[in-house]
Amino acid sequence: MGTITVTARRDDEAHLHVVIADDGVGLSTEPSGLGSQIVRTLVENELGGAIVWRRTETGSEVDVRAQVGD
């Protein structure tokens, strides 16, 4: 059974940084399906942030940064 780790922190008063990591087989490429496109659009347009999917030495990681304040 695998492990998923979620880490969240405020970079400052207006920015949230969330990392979701697992210890699975890892991604072969950055996701490009409809679901990941919808998530990217929401993070970038609605939250004024960025999202990155990456393969790590121990699995996969999703890095999300978003604005949370005015």
Structural domains present in the chain: 4-67 (3.30.565.10)
Whether this model's pTM surpasses 0.85:
yes
- Cα 24 from chain centre: 16
- pLDDT tens for each residue of 44-59: 999 999 999 999 999 9
pLDDT of residue 47: 94
pLDDT of residue 67: 94
The residue with greater pLDDT, 13 or 21, is 21
Give dist(CA 15, CA 53) in Å, integer.
Answer: 19
Whether 69 shows a pLDDT value over 80: the answer reads no
pLDDT of residue 70: 64
